[in-house]
Amino acid sequence: MCMRARKTEIICTGSELLSGKLNLYVPLFHEKLLPLGFEITREQSPGDTLREIADCIKGALTRADLVVVCGGLGPTFDDLTRQAAASALKKKLVYSNAQDCALKAKYGLAKLPPNLADQCLKLAGAKTIENRNGTAAGQEIACKNKLVVLLPGPRHEWEPMFKDCLEADLKRFFSVRGGAPEMLKLKISGLGEVTAEKLLRPVMKRFKEARYTILAGPWTVEFIITAGAKGEMQSAKCKTEERSSTIAEIEKACRKILGNKIYGVNGDTLEAGAGALLCGAGLTLSCAESCTGGLLSSLITDSPGSSAYFKGSAVAYSNAAKTRLLKVRPQTLKKYGAVSELCAREMALGAKKLFSSDYALAITGIAGPEGGTPKKPVGTVCFALMGPGKTNTFTRRFHGERTFIKRCAANFALDELRKVIE
Amino acid sequence: MCMRARKTEIICTGSELLSGKLNLYVPLFHEKLLPLGFEITREQSPGDTLREIADCIKGALTRADLVVVCGGLGPTFDDLTRQAAASALKKKLVYSNAQDCALKAKYGLAKLPPNLADQCLKLAGAKTIENRNGTAAGQEIACKNKLVVLLPGPRHEWEPMFKDCLEADLKRFFSVRGGAPEMLKLKISGLGEVTAEKLLRPVMKRFKEARYTILAGPWTVEFIITAGAKGEMQSAKCKTEERSSTIAEIEKACRKILGNKIYGVNGDTLEAGAGALLCGAGLTLSCAESCTGGLLSSLITDSPGSSAYFKGSAVAYSNAAKTRLLKVRPQTLKKYGAVSELCAREMALGAKKLFSSDYALAITGIAGPEGGTPKKPVGTVCFALMGPGKTNTFTRRFHGERTFIKRCAANFALDELRKVIE
């Protein structure tokens, strides 16, 4: 029998999350917890006050099966999660001699200073989760058939705790035996959010038992499919295999509609995908960039091992650099302008020669906010992709702010490269 | 008399925020609300279920003076905020003829389709907030001495509503007369979070009435000072002028300690700062990049108008590109390796000549995860900054993942450039 997804609430402490810092953790918890069968049903950020944190924990326990509190286990005055949890759960804090010994050994101390000694306080009845990368141990405590987990704030401290201990503990406590909900992200390029939704509507109508989210990006769209995550929507007799086959069927149906507009799944990126194709074919790449200003080559070199296929880029921001470095002809610039397919073609040729690469990608355009004309408005970008055989040129117009237009242009170029090599 | 900061809770609807999408809005709301005297005391993300959203609104109203609900006002099945608010506040939904007329006029329709007609539903007694950039109007409704505000989800729709209407309405409703809390972000480079905290501790001890947050970044730290935002901590007799002088005094005390390690305030960036200095002095810059792979020049060209001072970059990822493009001597590569200050110096010279710029910045290092050696471990980066007069070289080691090391290196280079031109 497949499991009903367990309701989970995440509580992220830290006043900085309410005063300017982005909360980067919720998607990370989602990725860790969903495969184990836990669906996040609410997230709360209470700030560093004891009463607020305790109130969030108390409220979450009335609704969720699993409550994860992240942060506030450090050694300073504003770390109040232990105390807040004790108050919310009506448990005493007891001194953990084991944690005391562990910390003494870790730091070679005969006696712990007061702030480290604070970190030995444990909720009565809690299990300690070892922290390999810091001083703040995690804690797990059962409240009847529910579980409260306290984790330290830094990602590199709490993330290993999942593999080390939490995954097994959660499975044991909630008797999860496979059958967890499944998620699939389809990565799509070259379509807007609205068009993607329109094209995919028949799939969503056909497979009503799954849930769908569409997220727009620069020249890309993510289509997120979740099957079996919504306990209430799922019949008790559904089987794991059935659900797996559902995800596979939905993927197949999407691919039938979108074809090679799907460039990958889950964590795949355009830059890593294009890189893998080059690497597999033993081909090399160079770039000539104007309006993207180095973003294209920076994205390509975000992939470890990119030196195997990436030779370099000439960021020719001025016309002088275009003629000198890339041998763009002055008459091309004069007659057609720097933002023209012919200029892009000559830039690509220049880069291909300069770096002796098999492929060359050139981008030249108007990222804005200034520099647009009625004929070439802001967002107009020309591309050339020169391969061993032929050269393709393109002109596209992107909409948005300067940095968004840069990213759209870089993604478009990577996408065309991928399609040509495929 | 200065105002006590009003407690504010933010509720962000949308199941995507619980299943993979980052919540980018809380910092934006913080920046809009703090200057008006509203402190965010809790944020909740309930997902798209009527019961969850209603429960969040109900809870928030018991604690906060102002409750802002963002999202769920759209035309599709999963937009439930109107209904949830009606349930939480025990108000009826009434049809707004004014909104009906406005939408008909906007779209040139004689009759609204059902999904648009839904968007004319209004909480009884609510004020409509016009949406210049979409179909979903906002709503404001008073509940005794508290205010609930419903806003559409897309940023470009709700953000203009603040200037258009909300700022004035909030001031009127809560009788805010100046005296709002103030915030100052000091942008610091070249110090870790721990060192910065240690150096700034005397300031925090001296000015106990303010609140402080330290956020670590790549080669940078943000020190956020908030004065007058914490109602409970503030005596009723404090005056606005006193508080302004406090922020100014704290800034002065910080600058005395940190000197030119403070590179800016609030939204300032290293790249825009260095660009402004170059522009002001009529100087130009070029780059030669190896391990940063174009990131440095991409950051520089993120600033509008950077073409005035930025000539271009040679991204020389391979040794061949270094010798061919930048005229690095083969014996330098052979004897000292590509990751050496001498190689960086020759790269800078090459770029300076190639682009005929006043300054040239060169970066060569090991971004990892592969390529490290005992003598030159992953994260080792060599720099050269060649100016009209002299050349400075540096070697630093950064710690973290590949993309973080790239960003640290780019920020370090920009920081040295700034210090030299200053």
pLDDT, tens digit, for every residue of B385-415? Answer: 999 989 999 999 998 889 999 999 999 999 9
CB contact under 8 A, B315 and A318: no
CB contact under 8 A, B22 and A20: no
pLDDT of residue B232: 34
Which chain B residues touch A287 with a CB distance below 8 Å? 294, 315
In chain A, whose CA is at the least distance from the CA of B25?
Answer: A22
Residue A112 Cα, gap to closest chain B Cα (Å): 20
Sheet strand arrangement including A220-227: A210-216, A220-227, A182-189, A262-265
- Distance, in Å, from the CA atom of A218 to the CA atom of B338, rounded to the nearest integer, reads 35
- Distance, in Å, from the CA atom of A407 to the CA atom of A401, rounded to the nearest integer, reads 10
Beta bridge partners of B94: B122
What is the Cα gyration radius of chain B? 27
Interface test with A, best of B13, B212, B213 (most A CBs within 10 A): B213
- A301-322 in b/e form (b: 16+ CB < 10 A) is bbbbebbebbbbbbbbbbbebb
Chain A (74-133) residues lying within 8 Å, Cβ to Cβ, of chain B? none
Place of tokens 């044991």: A172
CB contact under 8 A, B317 and A324: no
Helix and strand numbers, DSSP H then E, in chain A = 15, 17
**How many percent of chain B have pLDDT more than 70?**
93
Average pLDDT, chain B: 90
Host H or E run for residue A28: helix A25-33
Is the CB of residue B318 less than 8 Å away from at least one CB of chain A? yes
Which chain A residues touch B211 with a CB distance below 8 Å? 15
For chain A, residues classed under CATH 3.90.950.20 are 270-421
Which chain A residues touch B222 with a CB distance below 8 Å? 20
pLDDT of residue B236: 39
CB contact under 8 A, B42 and A31: no
Nearest to A318 among B294, B295, B312 (CB): B312
CA B333 to chain centre: 40
Chain A (267-306) residues lying within 8 Å, Cβ to Cβ, of chain B? 287, 289, 291-298, 300-302, 304-306
CB contact under 8 A, A47 and B46: no
CB contact under 8 A, B20 and A30: yes
Residue A100 Cα, gap to closest chain B Cα (Å): 24
pLDDT of residue B107: 80
- Distance, in Å, from the CA atom of B81 to the CA atom of B78, rounded to the nearest integer, reads 9
Residue B97 Cα, gap to closest chain A Cα (Å): 29
Backbone angles phi, psi at A75, to 5 degrees: -95, 5
pLDDT of residue B152: 94
- Interhelix angle A193-206/A240-258, rounded to 10 degrees, is 140
CB contact under 8 A, A27 and B30: no
A317/B380: higher pLDDT: B380
Query: Could you tell me how many CB contacts below 8 A there are between chain A and chain B?
Result: 250
Are A267 and A294 in contact by the 8 Å Cβ rule? The answer is no
Mean pLDDT, residues B293-313 taken together: 96
Which chain B residues touch A400 with a CB distance below 8 Å? none
Residue B348 Cα, gap to closest chain A Cα (Å): 15
- Report which listed range, A102-116, B178-192, B272-286, is most confident: B272-286
CB contact under 8 A, B23 and A26: yes
CATH code reported for the domain at A270-421: 3.90.950.20
In chain A, whose CA is at the least distance from the CA of B11?
Answer: A44
- The sign of the dihedral angle between the CA atoms of B176, B181, B185, B186 is positive
Q: Is the ipTM of this complex over 0.85?
A: no
Q: What is B182-265's CATH number, 3.30.70.2860, 3.30.70.20, 3.40.190.10, 3.40.50.700?
A: 3.30.70.2860
Beta bridge partners of B10: B43, B68
Nearest to A318 among B34, B311, B324 (CB): B311
Residues 6+ apart with CB under 8 A from A70: A10, A11, A12, A13, A25, A29, A151, A152, A153, A158
Mean pLDDT, residues A288-315 taken together: 96
For chain B, residues classed under CATH 3.30.70.2860 are 182-265
Chain A (222-251) residues lying within 8 Å, Cβ to Cβ, of chain B? 222, 224, 226
**How many percent of chain B have pLDDT more than 90?**
67
pLDDT tier at B109 (50, 70, 90 boundaries)? confident
Host H or E run for residue A402: helix A402-421
Chain A (196-225) residues lying within 8 Å, Cβ to Cβ, of chain B? 211, 213, 215, 222, 224
In chain B, whose CA is at the least distance from the CA of A48?
Answer: B41
Are B119 and B135 in contact by the 8 Å Cβ rule? The answer is yes
The amino acid that residue B63 corresponds to is: R
CA A40 to chain centre: 17
SS3 at position B325: helix
Please tell me chain B's helix, strand, coil percentages from 3-state DSSP, rounded to the nearest 5: 45, 25, 30
pLDDT tier at A258 (50, 70, 90 boundaries)? very high
Which chain A residues touch B367 with a CB distance below 8 Å? 301
pLDDT of residue B3: 44
Nearest to B21 among A27, A44, A355 (CB): A27
Residues 6+ apart with CB under 8 A from A249: A207
Interface test with B, best of A297, A309, A310, A339 (most B CBs within 10 A): A297
Is the CB of residue A18 less than 8 Å away from at least one CB of chain B? yes
Q: Could you report the per-residue pLDDT of B38-64, keeping only the tens digit for each?
A: 989 999 999 889 999 999 999 999 999
Nearest to A294 among B17, B294, B304 (CB): B294
pLDDT tier at B296 (50, 70, 90 boundaries)? very high
pLDDT of residue A67: 98
Place of tokens 């200034």: A370
Nearest to A42 among B46, B300, B370 (CB): B46
Mean pLDDT, residues A358-382 taken together: 95
Beta bridge partners of A10: A43, A68
pLDDT of residue B47: 87
pLDDT of residue A107: 80
| Upper half-sphere CA count for residue B72 (Cβ side, 13 Å) | 29
CB contact under 8 A, A317 and B301: yes
pLDDT tier at A179 (50, 70, 90 boundaries)? low
CB contact under 8 A, B312 and A314: yes
Chain A (28-57) residues lying within 8 Å, Cβ to Cβ, of chain B? 30-31, 34, 39-47, 52, 55-56
pLDDT of residue A228: 66
In chain B, whose CA is at the least distance from the CA of A371?
Answer: B305
B86 by Cβ neighbours in 10 Å (0-12 / 13-18 / 19+) ranks as: buried
Is the CB of residue B68 less than 8 Å away from at least one CB of chain A? no
Which chain A residues touch B310 with a CB distance below 8 Å? 293, 317
pLDDT of residue B176: 64
Residue A26 has pLDDT above 90, yes or no: yes
pLDDT tier at A229 (50, 70, 90 boundaries)? very low
Residue A247 Cα, gap to closest chain B Cα (Å): 17
CB contact under 8 A, B213 and A44: no
Mean pLDDT, residues B185-199 taken together: 89
- Distance, in Å, from the CA atom of B372 to the CA atom of A391, rounded to the nearest integer, reads 38
pLDDT tier at A327 (50, 70, 90 boundaries)? very high
Please state, in angstroms and as integers, the Cα–Cα distance from residue A65 to each residue in A146, A165, A408, B90, B286, following that order: 5, 19, 42, 29, 57
CB contact under 8 A, A304 and B369: yes
B288 by Cβ neighbours in 10 Å (0-12 / 13-18 / 19+) ranks as: buried
Which chain B residues touch A289 with a CB distance below 8 Å? 294
pLDDT tier at A237 (50, 70, 90 boundaries)? very low
pTM to 2 decimal places: 0.78
pLDDT tier at B177 (50, 70, 90 boundaries)? low
Which chain B residues touch A222 with a CB distance below 8 Å? 20
For chain A, residues classed under CATH 3.40.980.10 are 6-174
- Distance, in Å, from the CA atom of B155 to the CA atom of B136, rounded to the nearest integer, reads 12
Residue A231 has pLDDT above 60, yes or no: no
Interface test with B, best of A317, A402, A406, A407 (most B CBs within 10 A): A317
Are A296 and A363 in contact by the 8 Å Cβ rule? The answer is yes
> What kind of fold does domain B6-174 have according to CATH?
Molybdenum Cofactor Biosythetic Enzyme; Chain A (3.40.980)
